Amino acid sequence: MFEKGVVPLSGDRLNGKGLRVLIVHTRWNLEIVQALVEGTRSTLEQNHVSDIDVVDVPGAFELPFAAKRLIEASKQSARPYDAAVCIGVLIKGSTMHFEYICEATSQGIMNVGLQTGCPVIFGVLTCLNDEQAHERAGIGRGSSKGHNHGIDWGQAAIEMARLGKTQN
Ligand code: INI
């Protein structure tokens, strides 16, 4: 049977021991964003990542800039970040410029990863309405609470951080 979504990893590929991870999140749509940050953070912790920094910015448009600055600054320290997760929620209808922000944010986040060499996870929900956004953060108000995508982003951060480390 077809199962939608990513096939989860298990075993050592999900072992985050010794990794340092940055979470940058927006204050736009904060109730939903907080659930996603918690999903990401608890997944990292459950998989033995003990060094996690959490920084907030106003909106999704600011995520790439902040991630790039913080990743670059960490390279001057004894422990550079091994991965970053950018988290935000864009809801169509809340703004006329939804499409522009989605485009700029997704391209920006991809570029930060490629330019810095630090894997950056795209933790931005782009939703048609509030209901979809709540469900994708695991806080749906209908019969199903949905699935918290922060869990997937935490796992992706560990997988990609480990990939980065084995290539060096
Ligand atoms: N930022 C978001 O993170 N989510 C949104 O839904 C949103 N809407 O709807 O406008 C949003 N806008 C703000 C934008 O990201 C910037 O913070 C702002 O334009 C200042 O640069």
Digit-coded pLDDT (tens) for 3-17: 778 887 877 889 999
96 pLDDT above the threshold of 70:
no
Res 6: pLDDT: 83
- Report the C-alpha gap between 102 and 60 in whole angstroms: 8
CA of 28 to the centre of ligand 1 (A): 7
What is the value of pTM for the model shown? Answer: 0.95
126 pLDDT above the threshold of 60:
yes
- Report the C-alpha gap between 1 and 42 in whole angstroms: 30
Is there an atom of ligand 1 within 6 Å of 82 CB?
no
- Report the C-alpha gap between 110 and 33 in whole angstroms: 20
Domains of the chain: 17-167 (3.40.50.960)
Atom 13 (ligand 1) nearest CA: 59
Counting from 1 in the atom list of ligand 1, the atom nearest the Cα of 97 is 10
- Band of pLDDT at residue 90, cut at 50, 70 and 90: very high
CA of 80 to the centre of ligand 1 (A): 29
| Residues above pLDDT 90, as percent of the chain | 83
